[in-house]
């Protein structure tokens, strides 16, 4: 019984995922020429990623102070155009150092 339920849930989830991915192709047959809609669609992935990532950054450490330190370092290095690996490693190092200091 449980296997049937899990299979049904997986099937429904696969169908919904397919429909969400296929709908834009079926709805928008021709090229979108409106510049506002093009710019809106260009920035949506970045906005969604930021909205999902930002709360996780602030709640992933033991204290808000270390999370703020890591976020600040990441913002500064990102603003200066450093690479993703450099920013991530520096933010992790900042969190680690602040965690060591406040313990």
pTM: 0.61
Q: Angle at Cα 49 formed by Cα 68 and Cα 35, nearest 5°?
A: 125
In this predicted structure, what is the pLDDT of residue 67? 94
pLDDT for position 34: 85
Contacts of 4 by beta carbon, 8 Å cutoff, 6+ apart? none
Q: What is the pLDDT along the chain (103 residues), one digit of tens a residue?
A: 678 888 999 999 999 999 988 888 888 788 888 899 888 888 888 888 889 888 988 888 988 999 999 999 999 999 999 999 999 999 999 999 999 998 7
Please state, in angstroms and rounded to a whole number, the distance separating the CA atoms of residues 91 and 51: 19
pLDDT of residue 1: 62
**Dist CA 32 CA 42 (whole Å):** 12
């Amino acid at each position: 019984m449980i296997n049937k339920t899990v299979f049904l849930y997986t099937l429904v989830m696969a169908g919904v995922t397919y429909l969400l991915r296929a709908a834009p192709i079926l709805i928008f047959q021709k090229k979108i020429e409106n510049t506002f809609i093009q710019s809106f669609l260009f920035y949506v992935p970045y906005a969604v990623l930021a909205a999902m990532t930002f709360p996780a950054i602030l709640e992933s450490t033991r204290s808000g102070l270390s999370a703020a330190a890591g976020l600040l370092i990441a913002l500064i290095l990102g603003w200066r155009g450093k690479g993703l690996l450099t920013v991530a490693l520096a933010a992790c190092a900042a969190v680690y150092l602040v965690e060591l200091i406040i313990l």
